[in-house]
Amino acid sequence: MLLRRLIPALALLTAVLTPVTTASTASAADNPYERGPAPTNSSIEASRGSFATSQTTVSSLVTGFGGGTIYYPTSTSAGTFGAIAISPGYTGTQSSISWLGPRIASQGFVVFTIDTNSIYDQPDSRASQLLAALDYLTQSSTVRTRVDATRLGVMGHSMGGGGTLRAAESRPALQAAIPLTGWHTDKTWGSVRVPTLVVGADGDTIAPVSSHSEPFYTSLPSTLDKAYLELRGASHFTPNSSNTTIAKYSISWLKRFIDNDTRYEQFLCPKPSGTAIAEYRDTCPHSI
């Protein structure tokens, strides 16, 4: 008698729970752009991710920018990858931002660190060169078949950071933008539609956050997925050498918005804190 009463109850419980489990599993499997294992603090703070990488040099004779180096996952078994072009700052060369190449590529991206036509190029010129580099990467490069041309982003240091903002404004189809201690005379970016992580430094005397990174962030639309990360005890040139905080949140941002990978939201929202972070503001990523 007791068994007969329990069977309907168990059947009902199974019917209620099964769709939830199935939907959850389907949700995780539905993202075709997910690359790599589930992230942890250790995995995104590590100097290298789960993908072995290779690199290839691009000649300075190409049209539109000054050449550079492409870093990419060696294996193609995971499919195509999102890609990022990165510009150095005023008087800088790609060597000043080269550490970002293998570090980000090893997390499952194709990364193009570029040289500019002239080390004195201004931000808007660097913007055009970042976009030219992405076009070269997706259309002409030897690794073009590894790149998903619909999932692209831009990064840059100093005037390259200002160029990053201009490139995002010029090409709203981009999926992510990260200006690093950016410099630009234009302080208003209300027309940007690309998810943007603005990185500033509390000790920056060349592009002080009060007149650059903070107004950049504030001027971005309030409806935009955006964040402002201010590094503690850092200078304008902190992005020119390996930095775990920059890498951790840049990787999380690129994964979330180029790969649509919501597994990385945990590192962005609720807003992070710690001894390396002077300030963090955000709108919290909107779940897909």
Neighbour tally for 11: CB within 10 Å: 10
Neighbour tally for 13: CB within 10 Å: 10
Q: Which of 157, 236, 252, 261 is catalytic?
A: 236
Active site residue 273: no
Q: Which of 204, 225, 259, 261 is catalytic?
A: 204
Planar angle of CA 51, 56, 60, nearest 5 degrees = 145
Which CA distances in Å does 54 have to 112, 114, 143, 211?
A: 12, 16, 11, 39
Active site residue 158: yes
The answer for residues whose C-beta is within 8 angstroms of residue 286's C-beta and 6 or more apart is 225
Active site residue 204: yes
Q: What is the DSSP letter of 285?
A: P
| SS3 of residue 111 by DSSP | strand
For tokens 């590094």, what's the residue? 231
Closest CA to 157 of 118, 110, 108, 213: 213
Q: Which of 106, 128, 158, 250 is catalytic?
A: 158
Closest CA to 94 of 105, 107, 85: 85
DSSP of 159-185: HHHHHHHHHHHH-TT-SEEEEES---S
The answer for residues whose C-beta is within 8 angstroms of residue 215's C-beta and 6 or more apart is 187, 188
Dihedral (Cα; 130, 168, 126, 113), 10-degree rounding:
-40
Which CA distances in Å does 1 have to 8, 14, 91, 154, 248?
A: 12, 21, 85, 68, 60
Q: Which residues are catalytic?
A: 158, 204, 236
